[in-house]
Structures are given as structure tokens and as C-alpha cells.
Chains A and B, each alone.
Chain A
């Protein structure tokens, strides 16, 4: 398992507001209350959140979450 630094970015144009990310890892993702669009809470989450952040990227139906690992 990769334990190096992990960066998250979100593409709000691609986001389809399904909210899978905010449900799966609410410490990293939130949703705009009105439109449901993703709000990124932290771009460099700590290692203990890496697994769920990767899962969020996988679950996102619209490929709006990008995870970069060194």
C-alpha cells in the first residue's frame, strides 16, 4: 500500500452532485447545500483517510475526483 503523500482535487464542472463522496468520507468531501456540488474540505488528507479517499474517487459516477500519489 502506498503511504506517500496524497493530493485530492475535484472538478466541480464534472460533478453530478450524487454525493457518494460526502457520504463515504465526510472529513474530506462535503456538498453544497443547495446544488449538491462537491466541496473539497482538505486537499492533502492524512494517511489514515487515504483508503476511503481512493474509494471516493472510484465511486464517483462522473469522475470528478482526482487522486494523485507520489
Chain B
């Protein structure tokens, strides 16, 4: 970063999202903004002016403050993607991640027990079996192997199928539509169509459960039995809830896993450290979450009243974007932040957000990530990149930044 602090690029409300220079590091202007006022003016892709918050303590404080709403149709709310525009225009289709309390907590609490730490741990043995079977097949075939198609897409996908109890055919249809919702490469009408189709498919799955006299043990069956049939949840509320679990749980895990595995196959020190000391895996996964921060454009909020954030007053009705990746590279919390260090205590990272909307699936995600890394270390010792680094397909247009493919050999 060589730009000086007086650069007009920064004072003239830079456009957002910003472009990366290195595929692994956040866009360089973020570091400069982080050393400035608590919030800086930016211009969103749709032309609207909003505040950008980049320092760790301020990101944390915005996300933990209920004076900032998560309701997309609120005045001034920043439109992150085409999907945000759809939600703003059809507020009744919003999932609870786009709600404030008490609506948010009424719906989220119906899912809490399915995502408790203990429940995620209980999935570990089943997951390990699946992984051994997948990697047994992958390593028996030709090299190189694409770890995205072979591992980081199918693993979260199987986990969701296990949770939801859906068929492979349903799962494939559902995931294809879900992927379009977080990809900025699609046109607005394509995103709208995919969202409607996805909701239609999910409604079918829910109605299937409704027709069963004795639904199964999966999460959807339990929601139907405990919540829908008792009148606490409507089908109209359950469909967006299922959509949220899919969109938030699948693409994000795939992206974070693809970048974590990229680090594993390109950073010899990391691979050696973890091969020697597998007990470090949980710590390394926290650090990889911090370092890669795949929710690359951050999270959007709008102020419901005037809020003093450090040295900046954010007025009621103004939009705020918090940059999780900038907060996670804040040297005041993580010394030498641009270095990936699997032995560092990275637990303060913001990769899962903060506040009442903090990722519900975080334990499950961490179990999946730990197990995927462990499986690659077990089955492909010494795995390395099979193409030049410069040829890798980084998915800049997708809300959860990741790789389109990760060809490796060993």
C-alpha cells in the first residue's frame, strides 16, 4: 500500500465493493480507511452514499448495537447485491437474518438446538466416514484432483442433505438455485427467477413433510411437528428460513474450505505444522477464518436513530457497511495481521459476524472445515497446487469469496 493519506481517491467517497490487488488480501484502500475516522463515506455500486466501517472495535460495536437495523426495507439500508433489492421490494419474503428482535429471535430460537456445539460435534464421526469414502475414491483416480468439485462442494452439500433429509435430486436442484442468489455475475431477472424457483422447491419439500402423518427426525420434519403444526410458525415463514439455512450454510462453507485448502497446499509451513500437530487444527481453522474472511463485502445495516460511532455521527436513516475482512486485518487486535499464523489466538475474528445475527452454523462450519483439512492431510500428504497460482479461478463476483476450482496433486 503506497497511496498517501491525502489521496483524493479516499476523500472522494470511493466506490464499493472495492477491487482486490492480491487475490488473498482485502482491497488495499481498506487499510488506509481503517487508520482514519471511525466511518468513511463510500458510494455503493448502485450509486447510493453509505458509511463504511473498517476497524475491528467499530465493526464489533455496529454489529452489537440494536440501533442499527438489519431490516433491508429500512430507510437508507445499503443494497449489497441484487438479492438485497429483491428483499427490499418483497419484505414478506425476508428470512430472519433480515429482521430485528423480537421477530428475529422468535424464529432463530426455533433452530438453536439443532446448531448447538454438541450437535455439531455429534456429526463429526459421520462426516469423517463420508470424507474417508470421498477421498478414497478421489485418490484412487487420476491426478490432478479438483478439491472444489471433489470435496468442498459435496461436503457442505451432504451435511445440508443430512440436516434437511432431502433426496440427492432435490438437493441438486435446490443448490443450483441457491448458488445464483449470492453471485453478482447474474442479471437481476435471473436472480429473481432463481429465488422464486428456490422458494417453490423448498415449499414442495415443506409440504411433503406436512402430508406425512409421522415426519422423520430431520430438522425440517421437526420444525413441521414442533412449530408449524402447533401454530407457532407458518409455511410462509418456514420457506425463507430454509432458504437462509441453504444460502448461509452451503456456499459460505464451500468458499472458506476452498481458500483454507489453498493455504494448506501452498504454505508448506502450515501443512507441516498441522501434519505434525493435528491438535492445532481448531486453532488453525479460527485463523483461516480470520485471514480469508470470505464474506468479502461485509454486512449491511441502517441507523434507526443518530448514533455516535467513535468520532463520527451516523444519522438516522443512513446506511452502514461493516467490512469484516478489514476488521479481521486490524493490527490493534491481531498483530502482524497479514501473516497467516496457525498458532495465533484468532478467536476475536469477525468472520461469523457479531451481535444477535452471528452465524448460527458456526460450530458446524468449524467441524466441517477441521475435518476437511484433516482428511486432505491424511489422504494426500504433501499435496501441492497442480497449476500456477496465477491461473487460479478466484470468484470475485460471489458474496462469499472463494475458488471455482482447486487442482492439486501429491
Measured between C-beta atoms, what is the minimum distance from A65 to chain B in Å?
12
A36 and B116: CB pair below 8 A? Answer: yes
Per DSSP, chain B at the interface is loop
A61 and B113: CB pair below 8 A? Answer: no
B347 and A55: CB pair below 8 A? Answer: yes
B347 and A59: CB pair below 8 A? Answer: yes
CA distance in complex: A52, B112 (Å) = 25
The interface-forming segment of A2-10, A18-26, A40-48 is: A18-26
Q: How many residues of B contact A (CB 8 A)?
A: 18
Measured between C-beta atoms, what is the minimum distance from B123 to chain A in Å?
15
A16 and B116: CB pair below 8 A? Answer: no
A36 and B112: CB pair below 8 A? Answer: yes
B347 and A34: CB pair below 8 A? Answer: no
A36 and B362: CB pair below 8 A? Answer: no
- For B116, the chain A residues whose CB sits under 8 A away are 17, 19, 31, 36
Within 8 A of A (CB), among B358-391: 358, 362-363
- For A23, the chain B residues whose CB sits under 8 A away are 117
A residues sitting closer than 8 Å to B (CB atoms) are: 16-19, 22-24, 31, 33-36, 55, 58-59, 61-63
Measured between C-beta atoms, what is the minimum distance from A54 to chain B in Å?
12
- For A55, the chain B residues whose CB sits under 8 A away are 347
- For B356, the chain A residues whose CB sits under 8 A away are 16, 61-62
Measured CB to CB, the nearest residue on chain B to A23 is B117
CB within 8 Å for A18 and B362 given contacts A59-B347, A62-B356: yes
For the complex, is B348 an interface residue (Cβ under 8 Å from A)? yes
Measured CB to CB, the nearest residue on chain B to A13 is B105
Specify which of B105, B113, B348, B358 is in contact with A18 (CB 8 Å cutoff): B358
A35 and B117: CB pair below 8 A? Answer: no
Contact flags (1/0) for B112-152 with A, using CB distance below 8 Å? 11001110000000000000000000000000000000000
